[in-house]
Amino acid sequence: MVKKQFMPKWFYQLASPKWCYQISGTLLPYFLITALVLLTAGLVWGFAFAPQDYQQGNSFRIIYIHVPSAILAQSIYLTMAIAGGIGIIWKMKVADMVAYACAPIGASMAFIALLTGAIWGKPTWGSWWVWDARLTSMLILLFLYFGVMALYSAMEKPETAARSVAILALVGLVNIPIIKYSVDWWNTLHQPATFTLTEKPAMPVEMWLPLLVMVIGFYCFFASALMLRLRNEILNREKRAGWVKQLVSGQ
Amino acid sequence: MKVFWAELSRDLLLAYRRKGDLLNPLLFFVMVLALFPLGVSPAPDFLSQLAPGVLWVAALLAALLSLDNLFKSDFEDGTLEQLLLSSESTYPIALAKALVHWLTTGLPLALLAPLLAVMLFLPSHAIPTLVVSLLIGTPTLSLIGAIASALTVGLKKGGVLISLLVIPLYIPVLIFGASAVQNATQHLPVQAYLAILGSMLALSIVLAPFAIAASLRVSVSS
């Protein structure tokens, strides 16, 4: 019987830790350089050249860190859950490792988003923390990351840990929209207009272009951080494999 | 269906034989609620404002507390392994387990809640809503909690970990449950909240048993 292949060939190649190690080694420098260039350019552009906000003055510039990290925190959770799902369905070791590598990066992104949100909140809303719907759902996302990381560290065998975490991540993925909408609803009910961050005018091009650069830069940074952690994890888990021994002793 | 009833009656019998365990979540619920007047303020006005949220948070914590033992004894004596090895589908088994957890914690909590609501000066016209919201909301808590319980059953120290995994997932239920009671105290309509609690229950009845069964397989195989 011919085995049916539902996915393109590269997908199956990804299952090989060795191939994955090599391809990520080739791709890594490109992503790293792109990330560095985009982040530097975006930061300089956003902090020094983008025009001031007519209401918030210079304090709005933290948006160039806040928004990308918030976007990343969410997409990393998605990546983690999808990688976990692939790990469950196709029993792919590399997908498990990707999910494992995602969690701390995502947690730090969520933390950065909360921290910059707090710093931004002080001049804008007059307090470090506001039970705003977005802040609250980001906080809950951070809790979800902590749960995933705690479950990882509680389990000894990496294979079972990976499958448990994948289930948890998928359950969390179903829950994220529910949490998001319930928090939105809760907030509009309980605090109709504590702070009136009036409807922002659509950002002018000079403002959102550096933001776009920063977002792409953050994605590239995430990709490079993920690959670095992944390569580390592959070497760690495959240390009994011949090619790893060869690689380590060869250097 | 036969498997479901067999599992249900077996677990209920087991729960009935260990009456002490049945009482613990209720005692916890009462004690936590007694802490609030002591810790915050005994003024009736203030307490009646606080009551909807506090009652719901205490019920949530009480349901959380009893999750640790949901699969533990079955896991330790090998019953769980036999259940998963049997040719029957695991969906009804997982559903029955979660239902027993609800029957032994959520249901008594909901029935006990009116008494404590009176002690916390919740306006009496809001009490039916409180009971109904707990009746619809706590089964969801049991179903979601059973996933975390199944994930951690193989671990030696699962207790705190369960709370970490489950609390973020409990937030929507808490929001709508407490909001329903809050609205009832102000004579506002509550049907929408109860409907949302009901839809969350429907969703978790459909999906959660799959996650529970998958988690149990992982825990047993390790």
Q: CA separation (Å) from A144 to A96, A105, A186, A214?
A: 18, 13, 19, 25
Give the integer Cα–Cα distance in Å for A106 and A183.
Answer: 21
What are the tokens at A111?
């933390």
Q: What is the mean pLDDT of residues B44-64?
A: 91
Q: Bigger pLDDT: B159 or A77?
A: A77
Q: Mean per-residue pLDDT for B35-60?
A: 90
Count other C-beta atoms under 10 Å from residue B64's C-beta. Answer: 22
Tokens of residue A115, six digits: 């921290």
Range in A24-33, A112-121, A183-192, B170-179 the model is least confident about: A183-192
**B43 SS3 class:** coil
Q: Which of A55-59, A171-175, B42-46 shows the lowest per-residue confidence on average (mean pLDDT)?
A: A55-59
pLDDT of res. A5:
63
The mean of the pLDDT values for chain B is: 90
Nearest beta carbon to residue A179 from set B151, B171, B218: B171
Instruction: Report residue B180 as tokens.
Output: 């329903």
**Which residue has 């792109």 as its token pair?**
A34
CB contact under 8 A, B172 and A154: no
User: Letter for the amino acid at A127?
Assistant: S
Closest Cβ opposite residue A147 in set B168, B172, B222: B168
A219-232: pLDDT as tens digits: 999 999 999 999 99
Under a CB-based contact definition with an 8 Å cutoff, are residues A161 and A88 in contact?
Answer: no
Interface confidence, given as ipTM, is 0.86
Determine, for residues A167 and B215 on separate chains, whether the beta-carbon distance falls below 8 Å.
Answer: yes
Contact B151, A151 (CB under 8 A): yes
More confident residue, A183 or B172: B172
CB spacing of B171 vs A182 below 8 angstroms:
yes
More confident residue, A246 or A102: A102
In chain A, % of residues over pLDDT 90: 34
Binning pLDDT at 50, 70 and 90, where does residue A56 land?
A: confident
Interface touch A147/B164, C-beta < 8 Å: yes
The winner for highest mean pLDDT among A48-52, A235-239, B37-41, B198-202 is B198-202
Local confidence band at A190 (pLDDT 50, 70, 90 cut-offs): low
**CA-to-CA distance for A32 and A222, rounded, in angstroms?**
9
Determine if the pTM surpasses 0.90.
no
Regarding predicted confidence, which is higher, A175 or A145? A145
| Among the partner residues B175, B214, B219, nearest to A182 by beta-carbon distance | B175
Residue A51 has pLDDT above 60, yes or no: yes
pLDDT at res. A198: 46
Beta strands in chain B (DSSP E): none
Residue A2 pLDDT level (bands cut at 50, 70, 90)? low
